[in-house]
Amino acid sequence: MAHIFLVEDDQYVQYTLSKILVKAGHTVACFDNGRLALEKLRMKPPDLVITDVVMPELGGLEMLAQFRAFNAVIPVLVVSAGSSKLSEDFKEMAAQSGANGVLLKPFDRATFLACVAEMLL
Amino acid sequence: MISPSIFRIFEFLSSKEKKFLLVSYIVLLGLISAPLIYFDFTEILYQFSRDHEDQQLDEFMLIAVVAVFLLSIYLIFIAASLVKRLLFTQAQKQDLKRSVEQTRHLVAMGKVLGGVSHSVNNHLLPMIALTDEVLEGLDPDSEAAKDLGVVRNAAIGAAKILKQLKNFSMQNMAVRETCDLDAALNHAIDFCEKIIPSSIFLYQEIDSRNVKVALSELSVEIVILNLISNAVDAIGGVPGRIGISLFPSEVPPEASDALKAYSSWVSLKVEDSGAGMSGEQIVKIFDPFYTTKSADKGTGLGLSETYGIIKAGGGYINVESVPGAGSTFTIQLPVLLYEDRLGHSRFTPL
């Protein structure tokens, strides 16, 4: 069981992923954008951060880069809706920002839980 | 006989100036020829020559006549060459203009589709993952489980269509995967030979070997499959033929400055003996969802996907077609002559 930050602006995706994580036995804190998540990350970091990329106010990769400035340990899984981001360049960008994994939407429940389990190892 | 340096001057003239020169040459030719014919100049010359045969003027007159005659021939040649060059340049301009307009249109569409794809992927995720979650708690043989299975599969089908759209909207992304084009082509052709009807004769002419391009083997297979599938549909149920050829080519005239740095290019041509297309159809042929077939024959994404893949590989694709006389798709790709130490291609995005 882990404490997970879910940073996602789409309400349907936020509801779906948080429900799957809770039913799998984790506790989840949801944030609508990177700025809100960053404020909490400074106070009490979780066991895992799952973040979307394109969000208002502060995007996922920008939040991640700022997070890595004061925490290089906690794993971060970047979840992207794909389209023009689907490329080796994007994966490199995510890696350079400090991500530990990239998962492209849409995906099924089993794939998501397997990725989360791998991030928590 | 005609000095090439003369035509270098014409390259700096505008279309209007070239037309003026052409007309003035023809008028000059007429002004020189008309009096010669009207006044029976040869008779006058002969008479002058007889009257002055002791003054040797007749030899000089003869030389002058020959010189004027040769000048006339020379002017006719220049006029004919100008006409030919003018027509060719105008045709090139029209092709280039059409190509630029099509590219702008497709790039704009690519950006829109990229955005749409992003939003729709977010909506598909709950349809797939949340359905999985609900299915966990249901009896697999129950009606509800079967219905939700249909929902899930429909969402996965939508995701696959979006993936094809992604390929179209990825035109300007750098591609790191490479493959030997002739090897990938042979592999794709082997597969296609098993699925095309026996009434269609598939022939190939591979003149380029060990040609490395900035596309994955899978991308090449998708392109060939899409083009051959369209060719088979265009031919219909009648006997026909599809030809695939691979040969070295020149740098495409529409290539950007960055791509002109690639000195070696290869052309892949797929031609069929099918129904052909009108000019209006050709303009729209690479638009996503554009199709002349019935809904059960396809989504209209094959050629737009092909376009996106080729553009991502730094290439160009054109189509020539005449209604009733078949179509020819020509793909030109830059050849990768060497890779950097990380094994990545030297290809840079447009």
Residue A38: both structure tokens together: 């960053």
Taking residues B260-274, what's their average pLDDT? 87
pLDDT higher than 60, residue B346: no
Least-confidence region, from A86-100, B2-16, B220-234, B295-309 = B2-16
pLDDT tens across B164-189, in order?
Answer: 766 665 554 444 578 888 888 988 88
Q: Kindly list the distances between the CA atom of residue B225 and the CA atoms of A103, B106, B164, B273, B304, in Å, as whole numbers in the listed order.
A: 29, 22, 14, 17, 13
Which residues lie closer than 8 Å to B313 by C-beta, 6 or more apart? B175, B213, B214, B215, B219, B333, B347
Count CA within 13 A, CB hemisphere, residue B327.
Answer: 24
Could you tell me the residue range of the domain that residue A93 belongs to?
A: 3-119
Q: Percent of chain B at pLDDT above 90?
A: 19
Measured between CB atoms, does A22 come within 8 Å of chain B?
Answer: no
Using a CB-CB cut-off of 8 Å, the residues of chain A touching B126 are: 12-13, 15-16
- The total domain count for chain A is 1
The string of pLDDT tens digits covering residues B199-233 is 999 999 988 778 888 888 888 988 998 899 899 98
Q: Which helix (H) or strand (E) holds B149?
A: helix B143-169
Q: Which region, left, alpha or beta, applies to residue B343 given φ > 0 means left and ψ of -120 to 50 means alpha? A: left
Q: Does A54 touch chain B (CB under 8 A)?
A: yes
C-alpha angle with apex A83: A80 to A88, nearest 5 degrees?
A: 75
Asked if the model's pLDDT at residue B319 lies above 80, the reply is yes
* Residue A72 C-alpha, separation from nearest chain B C-alpha, in angstroms: 27
Interface test with B, best of A83, A87, A103 (most B CBs within 10 A): A83
At position B339, the amino acid (one-letter code) is E
| In chain A, residues 71-110 whose CB comes closer than 8 Å to chain B | 81-89, 105-110
Question: Does the N-terminal peptide bond of residue B323 adopt cis geometry, omega within 30 degrees of 0?
Answer: no
Let me know: does B323 contact B278? Beta carbons within 8 Å: yes
How close B186 gets to chain A, by Cα (Å)? 27
Has residue A5 got a pLDDT over 90?
Answer: yes
Quote the tokens at residue B258: 């960055």
Do residue B129 and residue A112 have CB atoms under 8 angstroms apart? yes
**Neighboring chain B residues of A83 at a CB cutoff of 8 Å:** 113-115, 117-118, 121, 166, 169
| Contact in structure between A62 and A39 (CB atoms under 8 Å) | no
Query: Mean pLDDT over residues B17-30, rounded?
Result: 80
Mutate which: B132, B168, B305, vs A, most A CBs within 10 A? B132
What average pLDDT does this structure show over B117-138? 89
Interface contact B133-A54, CB threshold 8 A:
no
Q: Whole-number mean pLDDT of chain B?
A: 79
The interface pTM score, or ipTM, of the predicted complex is: 0.79
| Selection from B180, B195, B302, B190 nearest residue B246 by Cα | B180
A16 → closest Cβ in B118, B125, B173: B125
- CB contacts, 8 Å: A88 with chain B: 174, 176
Q: How far is B153 from chain A (nearest CA, A)?
A: 11
Give the mean pLDDT of B103-108. Answer: 66
pLDDT tens digit string along A35-71? 999 999 999 889 999 999 988 889 898 999 999 999 9
On chain B, the residues whose CB falls within 8 A of the CB of A109 are: 128-129, 132-133, 136
CB–CB contacts below 8 A, A to B = 84
Determine the pLDDT at residue A14: 94
Cα(B171)–Cα(A115) distance, rounded to whole angstroms? 30
Structure-model confidence comparison of residues B198 and B260, the more confident one? B198
pTM: predicted TM-score of the whole model, two decimal places: 0.52
Q: What is the DSSP letter of B319?
A: E
The pLDDT-based confidence of B135 (bands split at 50, 70, 90) is: very high
Question: Encoding tokens for residue B289?
Answer: 């969802």
Q: Do B122 and A16 touch (CB under 8 A)?
A: no
Kindly tell me if the per-residue pLDDT of B268 is higher than 90: yes
| CATH number of the domain encompassing residue A75 | 3.40.50.2300
Q: Which residue intervals of chain A are DSSP H helices?
A: 11-23, 34-43, 60-68, 88-97, 109-119
Tell me what the pLDDT averaged over chain A comes to.
88
Residue reference for tokens 């996602």? A8
Nearest to A110 among B122, B130, B132 (CB): B132
Stretch B153-163: mean pLDDT: 84
Residue A76 confidence (pLDDT): 93
Residue B15 has a pLDDT of 75
Residues in B closer than 8 angstroms to A16, CB to CB, are 125-126, 129-130, 133
| Of A12, A110, A112, Cβ closest to residue B122 | A12
